[in-house]
Amino acid sequence: MNPGDPASAQRDVPRLVGGTTAAATARAATLLRRINATVVEMSSPDAAELAKLLENVFRNVNIALVNQLALLCERMGIDVWEVIDGAATKPFGFMPFRPGPGVGGHCIPVDPYYLAWRAREFDFVDRFVEVAGDINLAMPRHVVDLVAEALNDRGRALRGSTVGVLGVAFKPNVRDPRNSPAADILALLSGRGAEVAYHDPHVPQFRAADGRLHASRGFGELLDGSDVILVVTPHVAIDWAGLYERAPLVVDTTNSSRGHALRPRQVLRLGAGWSEAPAELAPPASSVSPATARS
């Protein structure tokens, strides 16, 4: 299931089934074929589970790749979002993933480490998978560094400033906050002396990684009371036009600013740097970032 995507619950999504015996597999497949049009019988529960792990780890590894590319692009003065869109024009052999503030949900942040742990039981060390997981887990700290950089541009320190966070669910347009990178981001901001508030139209209360329980503020209240706005989860229900019209300083980790007229040095984008001139108006890409599809 893909949270927030009703199509993932439809009959045409294939299901994998692997039983402890051939008879068990056949019986389970017979039942599941009443629910789904395509049922793939696997040789064992282990094979079925490893297929699921592969799919989740595949996404984690590719998100880690573009997150690393985003960090490099910041140093090179290149827009990573433009680079990915350019690569995605190739009609074969490339699947676009996009960077973000981290990964979340109940699968992607966990499965790489589970697979690496299981591999060690067979005297096999899967550092490749572990490194990808580590890269994504480190993104919240980089996001906090970007917030500090943005405030420094205004002659302010992170300590004592108020940071308004937009979106704390683990992916856009869902109310599920499990393993959201926002939990670490809020805790890291607080740990460095910032006052933290958030707005999320789908998550009325949210517990940060430091144990603090926060309540969602109104959108206007957040904008009026914050020294900088940090975009973490780009819900469609958020007033993006209002944000970029009103907020004097924004750190955008999801490319939500695409398609909006931006003032010079109004927006610091992950993987792209500062907005220097009004952006060419273009329709936003699918309500922003599949890589934030972090389930």
Q: Work out the burial of residue 138: count CB atoms within 10 Å of its CB; fewer than 13 is exposed, 13-18 middle, 19 or more buried.
A: middle
Half-sphere exposure of 97 (CA within 13 A, CB side): 20
Low-confidence winner among 46-60, 115-129, 169-183, 216-230 (lowest mean pLDDT): 115-129
Q: What is the pLDDT of residues 49-89, one digit of tens each?
A: 999 999 999 999 999 999 999 999 999 999 999 999 999 99
- Return the amino acid letter for 62: N
Topology adopted by domain 48-136: N-(1-d-carboxylethyl)-l-norvaline Dehydrogenase; domain 2 (1.10.1040)
Q: What are phi and psi of 276, to 5 degrees?
A: -110, -20
Q: Max alpha carbon distance in the chain (Å)?
A: 70
Alpha-carbon gap, residue 70 to 30, rounded angstroms: 46
- Asked whether residue 156 carries a pLDDT value surpassing 90, the answer given is yes
Half-sphere exposure of 203 (CA within 13 A, CB side): 29
Kindly state the tokens that stand for 153.
């541009």
Kindly state the tokens that stand for 115.
């697979």
Bridge partners, 163 (sequence order): 196, 228
Distance of CA 71 to the CA centre of its chain: 15
Q: Work out the burial of residue 178: count CB atoms within 10 Å of its CB; fewer than 13 is exposed, 13-18 middle, 19 or more buried.
A: middle
In contact, 244 and 250? CB cutoff 8 Å: yes
Report CA Rg, the chain.
21
pLDDT for position 276 = 82
pLDDT for position 289 = 41
pLDDT for position 291 = 42
Kindly give, in sequence order, each residue whose CB lies less than 8 Å from that of residue 145, ignoring residues fewer than 6 positions away: none
Confidence of residue 208 (pLDDT cuts 50, 70, 90): very high
Do the domains 139-292 and 48-136 match in fold?
Answer: no
Kindly give, in sequence order, each residue whose CB lies less than 8 Å from that of residue 48, ignoring residues fewer than 6 positions away: 16, 17, 18, 42
Of 3.40.50.720, 3.40.50.10470, 3.40.190.10, 3.40.50.300, the CATH number of 139-292 is 3.40.50.720
Domain locations along the chain? 6-41, 48-136, 139-292
- Return the amino acid letter for 275: S
Low-confidence winner among 94-103, 110-119, 160-169 (lowest mean pLDDT): 110-119
If you average pLDDT over every residue of the chain, what do you get? 91
Helix ranges restricted to H, the chain: 22-32, 45-76, 80-87, 111-120, 127-137, 139-153, 181-191, 219-225, 240-246
pLDDT for position 175 = 94
Q: What is the pLDDT of residues 100-120, one digit of tens each?
A: 999 988 888 888 898 989 999
Question: pTM above 0.95?
Answer: no
pLDDT for position 277 = 58
Which residue numbers are catalytic? Answer: 107
Size of the chain, expressed as the number of residues it contains: 295
pLDDT for position 125 = 86
Q: Which residue has the tokens 């992950």?
A: 270
- What sign does the dihedral 221-223-228-234 (CA atoms) show? positive
